[in-house]
Structure 1
Amino acid sequence: MKTTPENRIEALTTAGLWGGQTLHGLLAEHVSSRPHDLAVKDQPNRQALTGHDPLGLTWLALDNASHSLAYQLSASGVAEGDTILVQLPNIAELVVLYYAVAKMGVVVSPVPVQYGAHELRMLAGALQAKSMISIERLREAPLAAAAREALPELAVLEFGRDLQLETSSGEPFAGPAADPDRTLSICWTSGTTGTPKGVPRSHNMWLATGRTSIAAGSMQPDDVLLNPFPLVNMAALGGFLFPAAILGAAIVLHHPLDPGLYLSQLQDERITFTIAPPPLLNQLAKAPAMWSQFDFTSLRRIGSGSAPLAPSMIATFEQDYGKQIVNFYGSNEGISLFSTPEDAVDPQVRASMFRRPDQGALIETRVVDPDTGEELTAEGARGELLISGATVFDGYFHHDNRDVFDPSGFFRTGDLVEICGGGQFYRIAGRSKDIINRGGMKISPVELDVALEQHPAVMEAAVCAYSDERLGEKVCACLVPQPDAEQPTLAALQQYLLEQGFAKFKLPERLELLQQLPRNPLGKVQRFALQEQMANTQEHSHE
């Protein structure tokens, strides 16, 4: 499969933004230059997760294992050009699989382990998948058996039963000629607003994204990277798998997130770079005693993203803990912006602003009026972010893409940004469909989320709209309180926001205290689900 037209390939190649390298080509280079260096390592509790002992593979062992796996898949009937569905936790076998399918010219479509029969049937049908790869269990969940029941017409290959991880030297797999513009993967949008859509990406697209992550994280060839995100989308593939492939760095795996184990791995594996979800960093910033229990001498930088960061968290990590924070803003489609200590020294800036790419960078951006399409350039202007360049995909899989790109070929992200910092930065203002319209006054929920999460009694926060006969919509604050803290009241939160300088029309007029926020399998808050929940929930008083 190839989705990229030849004129785009030629333009990006001529510009030096795409090249001739592939994922498995990089593997061959590291086998030659650093065969016995660590490439990937399981988390120490793998036995409890899958019933198997944790593995650690060198680059040579990874190469051997991926050759062997390619032969096994080929023997099972998987051939060049086929698409396979994959549902595996973060285990070494999943990393081996990515390299194996790259050698075979097979398209891999990884899905979260949380997906059930409905999602599996929907995606397998859309892909016309040749087969599926899984594992016997993840904790008590019988992944392979559940997949066989959901997809009786599909061959479900199970690691440990149908497929074996063999690291001894064997005959190299002779696959098709390397093609960096061949589709390697079809990942799925996170589903924050509805049904996921397939995102085909080539080697060149992924490698361009990996280079942006390397730049933002100041990653180096001898780095040891701790990945706590499922290896099914941009955060893990663009943030870890491809940077490690480019540099020859080691990946240590983690997931599902276990804060205590995660901190122990940071210390014990002498991790130099990681990416962590904002709620965990916020929690650690408010718990210096927990942080000080560990030795994080090797750790240089921590990335975060998927939600706005709290300036106070960044300040705590850098001033008290001595660790630099990088703010990432990315997507499966190819958004790839970041804010680093070099770009934005001030934590207030770095928490919410992303530097506009320079001329000749891997990506190019524009801001346009969502209604008219007119380009906006003035300081303070708000509009939809459009993006084009080496990291950006060609369009959704089997989808009408006419409205996905503008007439110039720029991807319409659906994200609203504000031009700020003298025109050199963007501030994320939220999704265009998330904007709350209170009597004609437009309110971005994102800025309220960030402010409320900085309240000492709040662990997590997300605001959403709820209907009002007179104004159309009002603001509801949905909070997860800090354990053992006095529960916040609506009046106290309103006063807190006023003290932060918020206009009165932006203040929440309803408060709901929850045990947890609704999130998709990749950890993003599902604001549409919150709105549905609030619509079906009788309003409570928290005065």
Structure 2
Amino acid sequence: MQLTPQSRIDDYTAKGWWGDLTLDQWLQRNRRDVPDRLALVDPLNRETLDGHAPRRFTWAEFGSEVDRVAAALLAIGLEKDDVLTYQLPNITETVILALACSRIGLIISPVVMPYRAHELAYVIDTVRPAAVVTVASFAGYDHAAMAVALTGGRNCKVLVTGGDAPRGTIDLDAAIAAADPAKAAAYHDAQPIQPGEVFTIFWTSGTEARPKGVPRDMNHWIVNGEIVAEAADIREGEVLLNPFPLVNIGSFGMVTPWLMHRGTLVLHHPFDLGVFLQQIAAERVNYTIAAPAILNALLKTPGLLDSVDLSSLRAIGSGSAPLSPWMIEGFARDHDIEVCNMFGSNEGASLFSDARSVPDHHDRARYFPRMGVAGIDWPGSRANGMIQTRLVDLETEQDITEPGQPGELRFQGAATFGGYWEIPAITEQAFDAQGFYRTGDLFELAGDESPPRFYRFVGRCKDIIVRGGVNISPAEIDDLLAGHPALREAAVVGVPDERLGERMCVAAVPEAGQAPTLAEIAGWLKDQGLAVFKLPELMVEVPALPRNAMNKVSRRDLRETVLQMLA
């Protein structure tokens, strides 16, 4: 299924951004060139998750298993351009299934395990999959029964892996055991996958509205592999630890550089700090990703990191929320681990600050190289040549060229998607008159050079707190609060005020015992150099910050909680 206009494919191919590669070609190369190298490793604690012993695959074994699963899907009746939705934990079968789909041209549209009928029904209604793959049950919930109920009356098969396939479903494991793997290769050769065809439909996080489907072609994923490998400096044969479900660009973005550099991919599910650290030590992990809140918590637990052998770990990628300077500095100073600050979205907006481009740890927390701007060069960066960015004043739609003026960051280029799945009106609104994708994120120009070489993150356009006519970025305050020694975590939201429009309230999760008072928090923030007009004026104590399935703070839910507590 090709959604990208041929003219765009031809243009980007002529520029050398896109080519004739697919993910399956990387896989076939790896099974041929490094057949005995370890390729894929199950979560260390898999037996406690689903009763199955952890599995390990060499590249030769992995390639054979992909062929067998692809052949099973064909035997079940699926064919090229069918959509397949999976709801699976982060186990080896999930990676094998995704690459099997890429081999025979199926389009995957996965969802996270916590989704229930409301969310899963929306996905099924939207993409109309030919099959849903799930487990019979997980963590006490009957996923197979839910899938059967939601697909009733549709031309959609429910495939169950892991045993105990109930009535009305197909036992995928039995189909795999009976499959002839040679049929996958024959099907692929007869109907080869083109780089401009859709491979994934991932979903926006839904922290502000209903999720939107984001189609991405093989071309997009090849470029993603190049960008992530550049950002993390991923090298041949390295061991990568992926602790997140393979349902979005952040987590699936570990798969592409793994394939590209013929490494070892270690899986983890659900997030467990102790198991995570054990895996780093046991598998000699070189690179992993983690949410800022996790990295903050690690540094706030004295002795924990010192109790584990982290000598193999050279870098960690983090994003989805602003990073704290003290955290980046702490990992570098105390553990010789560089944290790479990553900004991105399923739509393909992507920037990164690593140790090479932004060596200063404090700058790296909030600055991103201003890539894809005429007159600004980043030597050795392929990503810089494949994207274009602009910073736009939301009132005038004019480009911002001077530091200190917030504007919306916009993207176009080889990594950027072409539009949302079957919602043309929203797609039209998502791009500006010049064809740049509107990220909804506020940045400003920063740095001492002329022209400025960096973007500085300010916050989400929709999250900005307007107090007395002055814009305040909650992300900036959250960033500082992450370093408060008496707070496990904290975030701020705006609440309505008749006189000022909005006031700022901090939702505080104490580290232990009683939370600091509002005056103590404000005083601490003031000591960090924060302007007085940005200090919070209200405070509530909460047991935890509300987060979505991807561990992002849901500011919408937090605001509702705060308003209820203040009522």
The TM-score with structure 1 as length reference comes to 0.96
Q: How many angstroms does 1:172 deviate by?
A: 4.8
* 1:184 maps to 2:212: no
Say if 1:88 and 1:94, in contact at 8 Å, map to a contact too. Answer: yes
The C-alpha deviation readout for 1:346-383, integer Å capped at 9, x for no partner, is 11100111111155522110000112211111122210
Q: Determine the C-alpha separation between the residues in 1 that align with 2:454 and 2:3.
A: 32
CA contact (8 A) 2:509 2:515 kept: no
Mapping for residues 91-170 of structure 1, pairs under 5 Å: 91-153=91-153, 154-160=156-162, 161=165, 162-164=171-173, 170=181
Distance in 2 separating the partners of 1:529 and 1:436 = 16
1:266-415 alignment runs, 5 A limit: 266-358=280-372, 361-399=385-423, 400=425, 401-415=427-441
Q: Which amino acid aligns with 1:404?
A: A
TM-superposed deviation, 1:169: 8.4
Residues in 2 aligned to 1:354 and 1:49: alpha-carbon distance in whole angstroms: 39
The residue that corresponds to 1:469 in the other structure is 498
What's the offset of the Cα at 1:535? 2.2
- What is the match of residue 88 of structure 1? 88
CA distance in 1, matches of 2:471, 2:528: 19
CA distance in 2 between partners of 1:536 and 1:483 (Å): 24
- The whole-number CA distance in structure 1 between the counterparts of 2:544 and 2:304 is 22
Residues 212, 420 of structure 2: 8 Å contact kept: yes
Q: Do the aligned partners of 1:65 and 1:167 also contact (CA within 8 Å) in 2?
A: no
Task: Supply the distance in 1 between the matched residues of 2:480 and 2:502 (Cα, whole angstroms).
Answer: 20
Asked if the contact 1:302/1:326 (under 8 Å) is kept, the reply is yes
1:218 is aligned to 233
Deviations 1:197-226 (A, max 9, x none): 000001110111111111111111210100
1:166 to partner: Cα distance? 5.3
2:445 counterpart (397, 400, 419): 419
* Pair 1:448 & 2:472 matched: no
User: Match for 2:326: what amino acid?
Assistant: S
TM-score, normalised by the number of residues in structure 2: 0.92
Q: Distance in 2 between matches of 1:226 and 1:310?
A: 22
Could you tell me which runs of 5 or more consecutive residues in structure 2 were left unpaired when the two chains were aligned.
166-170, 378-383
Residues 473-519 of structure 1: CA distance to partner in whole angstroms, max 9, x if unpaired?
110111211134x4211001111122222222211111111111111
Q: Among all aligned residue pairs of Structure 1 and Structure 2, give the percentage whose two residues are the same amino acid.
A: 41
Partner of 1:201: 216
Aligned counterpart, 2:278: 264
Q: CA RMSD in A?
A: 1.5
* Residue 523 of structure 2 corresponds to residue 508 of structure 1: no
C-alpha spacing 1:168/1:296, structure 2 compared with 1 (3 Å):
farther
Alpha-carbon distance, 1:84 to partner: 1.4
The one-character-per-residue Cα deviations of 1:160-205 (angstroms, maximum 9, x if unpaired) are 3411255998415122212011100000001111110000001110
Tell me which amino acid in the other structure corresponds to 1:117.
A
Matched, 1:492 2:520: yes
Q: Does 1:533 align with 2:561?
A: yes
Equivalent residue number for residue 171 of structure 1: 182
State whether residues 388 and 413 of structure 2, in contact with CA within 8 Å, keep that contact through their aligned partners in structure 1: yes
Q: Which amino acid aligns with 1:445?
A: P
Q: Distance in 1 between matches of 2:147 and 2:159?
A: 10
d(CA) in 2 for partners of 1:268, 1:166: 31
Question: Alignment partner of 2:495: what SS?
Answer: strand
Structure 2 residue identity aligned to 1:507: L
Q: Kindly state the Cα deviation for residue 336 of structure 1 after the two structures are TM-superposed.
A: 1.3
Partner secondary structure for residue 402 of structure 1: helix
Task: Kindly indicate whether the alpha-carbon contact (under 8 Å) linking 2:71 and 2:183 is maintained by their aligned counterparts in 1.
Answer: no
Does the CA contact (< 8 Å) of 1:314 and 1:325 recur in 2?
yes
| Counterpart AA for 1:182 | E
CA distance in 2, matches of 1:525, 1:151: 31
Equivalenced residue count is 537
Q: Is the 8 A contact 2:72 2:178 kept in 1?
A: no
The DSSP-based 3-state class of the residue aligned with 1:177 is coil
What does the per-residue CA deviation read over 1:82-119, in whole Å, with 9 as the maximum and x for residues that have no partner?
11111111011111111111111111101111110011
Q: Which residue of 1 aligns with 2:249?
A: 234
- Does the Cα contact within 8 Å between 1:517 and 1:525 map onto a contact in 2? yes
Shift in Å at residue 444 of structure 1?
Answer: 0.6
Partners in 2 of 1:112 and 1:168 — Cα distance? 28
Within 5 Å, give how 1:42-81 maps onto structure 2.
42-81=42-81
**Distance across 1 between alignment mates of 2:412 and 2:419:** 12
- 1:521 pairs, out of 536, 545, 549, with 549
Provide the C-alpha distance between the structure 2 equivalents of 1:191 and 1:294, rounded to a whole number of angstroms. Answer: 36
2:381 is matched with: none
- Structure 1 runs of 4+ off > 4 angstroms? 165-169
Whether the 8 Å CA contact 1:120–1:151 is kept in 2: the answer is no
